[in-house]
C-alpha cells in the first residue's frame, strides 16, 4: 500500500512539517500514541464486557464480530497510520470504523459510548479541518441512523439520537478549536523566525559597522606610522642613489630594489585597510601576481626561484577575489618563511587545479630544498592566521616537512 503525506488536524506527529513547526515534541507524540492505544484497549474491553455480561437485545455474535473487525482495523490500519502519517491507511481505517459503529448503533445503541473513541480518532487521522468535519458527520450519521429508526418505531427513546448529536457538535467544536490553536501556533512560530532573522541582520549590521570603524582606525594608524616610515625609506633610498658615484652600479641596484620594496609595501598596507585585497591583484590575474612575486623574491634573495603553472591547465582559474587573496597570501607567507628560516638554494612555486565539479580545487604549493623542520612542533602566527583565512573560504593549508628534507606548504581553495 503506498503512502501519502498527511498532516493531521490535531497534531503534526513525530516529525517536522514543511515549515519546521512541531506542535508536539517527538517524546510528547510518543506519549500521546501510547495514551491513544491504552484508551482504545480499555474502552474496547469495557464494550466486550458489556456485551458478554449485560443483558442485551441484539445478537452478541454480531456485536462481537463488529468489535473484532474494529480492533483488527485499528491494529492493521489505524495505529500504523498514526505513526507513519499514511493517508490511505487512515482513510481505510475511518471507513471501517464508520461501518462498525453503524452496526453497533443498529444492534445495541448502548455501546455508543465508544463514540468518544471514534471522534478522537477522526481528528488524529484526518489531514484537514474539512475532512475532519466530513468524517465526523459520517460517523454521527452511521451512529444515529439505527437509534433514530428505533425511535420512530417506539423502541428507542429520543435521548439516544440526541446524545449522538450532542457528541457530534462537541467533536466538531473541538476540531475547529484545535485547528485554530494550531494556526495561531504556526503564526507565532513564523513571528519568532522573523524576529530571529531580524536579530541576525542587526548582528551582521553591527559587525559591519564595527569592521568599518576598525578599518578607519587602522587607516589613521597606517597614515601616521607605516605610511610615514615607508615614505621616509623611499626618500632616503632616492637621496642615497643620487649621491652615489657613477661606478657604483651594484649599490645603485640595491637602493633601487629597496625603494621598490618600500613603495610596494606602502601601497599594500593602504590597500589592505581600504579594501582588504592585495594591490597585486588590482590590475593583474592571480598567475601574473604570483609571477611578479616569484621574480621579486628571486631578485631579493638571489635564490633560484620559478613559477610552475603546468598543472593549471588552460585558462585562468575561476575564483572569487577572496579566494585569490587566500592563495596569494599563502604564497607570500610561505616565501617569507623560506627567506627567514629555510637556508634554501632553490624554491619552486606551483599553481594547479585538481578535481571537477563541486570537488574542484585550486592549490598553490611553495616547495624549497632547505633545512626543513618538524611541523608538529612549530606552528607560527603566520601559518595559523593563514589557516584561519583559508577556512573562511572553505579551503585548507597543509605543511609537509622534515629536518634536512625541505618544506612544502600547500594552500587549497574550492574552485567553481
Q: Average pLDDT, stretch 264-288?
A: 68
pLDDT at 253: 85
Whose cell is 612555486? That residue is 349
Q: What are 303-359's pLDDT values in tens digits?
A: 999 999 888 877 667 788 888 888 988 898 888 888 888 889 999 999 998 887 778
Tally Cβ neighbours within 10 Å of residue 154.
7
Q: Looking at residues 41-68, what average pLDDT do you find?
A: 86
Percentage, residues of the chain above pLDDT 90: 10
What Å distances lie between residue 152 and 158, 168, 206, 294, 358, CA to CA?
9, 21, 77, 105, 76
What secondary structure does DSSP assign to 180-195, as a single string?
A: HHHHHHHHHHHHHHHH
* pTM of the complete model: 0.42
Structure confidence at residue 222 (pLDDT): 66
pLDDT at 18: 38
pLDDT bin (cut points 50, 70, 90) of residue 19 is very low
Q: Please say if the pLDDT value at position 392 is more than 50.
A: yes
Contact status, residue 107 vs residue 64, Cβ threshold 8 Å: no
**Contact partners, residue 339, CB within 8 Å, separation at least 6:** 297, 300, 301
- Joined together, the cell numbers standing for residue 365 give 604549493
- Please tell me the predicted confidence (pLDDT) of residue 152: 57
pLDDT digit string, tens, across residues 69-94: 999 988 899 888 887 778 888 889 88
Joined together, the cell numbers standing for residue 334 give 610561505
Buried b (16+ CB within 10 A) or exposed e, 45-70: eebbebbeeeeeebeeeebeebbeeb
For the chain, give the number of residues.
Answer: 416
Residue 380: pLDDT over 70? no
For 183-218, the pLDDT digits (tens) are 777 778 788 888 888 888 888 878 777 776 676 676
Task: Using CB atoms within 10 Å of the CB of residue 122, give its burial: 0 to 12 exposed, 13 to 18 middle, 19+ buried.
Answer: buried
Identify the helix (H) or strand (E) that includes residue 102.
Answer: helix 87-107
Per-position DSSP letters for 187-217, written without gaps between them: HHHHHHHHHHHHHHHHHHHHHHHHHHHHHHH
- What's the pLDDT at 316? 67
Amino acid at each position: 500500500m503506498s503512502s501519502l503525506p498527511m498532516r493531521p488536524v490535531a497534531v503534526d506527529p513525530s516529525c517536522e512539517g514543511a515549515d519546521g513547526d512541531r506542535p508536539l515534541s517527538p517524546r510528547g507524540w510518543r506519549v500521546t500514541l501510547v495514551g491513544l492505544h491504552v484508551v482504545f484497549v480499555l474502552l474496547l474491553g469495557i464494550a466486550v464486557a458489556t456485551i458478554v455480561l449485560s443483558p442485551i437485545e441484539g445478537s452478541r455474535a454480531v456485536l462481537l464480530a463488529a468489535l473484532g473487525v474494529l480492533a483488527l482495523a485499528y491494529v492493521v490500519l489505524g495505529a500504523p497510520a498514526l505513526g507513519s502519517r499514511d493517508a490511505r491507511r487512515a482513510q481505510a481505517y475511518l471507513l471501517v470504523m464508520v461501518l462498525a459503529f453503524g452496526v453497533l448503533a443498529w444492534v445495541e445503541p448502548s455501546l455508543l459510548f465508544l463514540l468518544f473513541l471514534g471522534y478522537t480518532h477522526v481528528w488524529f487521522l484526518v489531514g484537514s479541518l474539512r475532512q475532519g468535519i466530513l468524517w465526523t458527520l459520517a460517523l454521527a450519521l452511521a451512529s444515529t441512523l439505527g437509534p433514530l429508526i428505533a425511535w420512530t418505531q417506539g423502541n428507542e427513546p429520543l435521548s439516544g439520537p440526541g446524545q449522538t448529536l450532542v457528541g457530534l457538535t462537541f467533536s466538531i467544536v473541538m476540531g475547529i478549536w484545535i485547528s485554530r490553536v494550531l494556526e495561531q501556533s504556526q503564526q507565532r512560530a513564523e513571528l519568532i523566525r522573523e524576529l530571529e532573522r531580524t536579530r541576525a541582520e542587526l548582528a551582521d549590521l553591527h559587525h559591519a559597522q564595527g569592521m568599518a570603524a576598525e578599518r578607519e582606525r587602522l587607516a589613521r594608524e597606517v597614515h601616521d606610522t607605516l605610511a610615514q616610515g615607508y615614505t621616509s625609506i623611499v626618500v632616503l633610498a632616492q637621496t642615497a642613489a643620487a649621491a652615489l658615484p657613477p661606478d657604483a652600479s651594484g649599490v645603485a641596484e640595491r637602493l633601487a630594489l629597496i625603494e621598490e620594496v618600500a613603495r610596494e609595501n606602502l601601497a599594500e598596507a593602504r590597500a589592505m585597510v581600504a579594501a582588504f585585497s592585495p594591490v597585486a591583484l588590482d590590475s593583474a590575474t592571480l598567475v601574473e601576481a604570483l609571477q611578479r612575486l616569484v621574480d621579486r623574491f628571486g631578485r631579493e634573495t638571489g635564490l633560484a626561484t620559478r613559477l610552475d603553472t603546468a598543472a593549471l591547465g588552460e585558462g585562468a582559474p575561476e575564483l572569487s577575489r577572496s579566494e585569490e587573496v587566500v592563495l596569494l597570501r599563502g604564497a607570500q607567507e610561505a616565501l617569507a618563511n623560506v627567506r627567514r628560516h629555510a637556508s634554501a638554494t632553490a624554491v619552486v612555486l606551483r599553481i594547479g587545479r585538481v578535481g571537477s565539479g563541486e570537488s574542484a580545487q585550486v592549490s598553490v604549493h611553495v616547495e624549497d630544498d632547505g633545512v626543513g623542520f618538524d611541523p608538529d612542533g612549530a606552528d607560527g602566527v603566520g601559518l595559523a592566521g593563514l589557516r584561519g583565512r583559508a577556512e573562511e573560504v572553505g579551503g585548507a593549508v597543509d605543511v609537509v616537512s622534515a629536518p634536512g628534507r625541505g618544506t612544502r606548504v600547500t594552500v587549497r581553495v574550492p574552485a567553481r
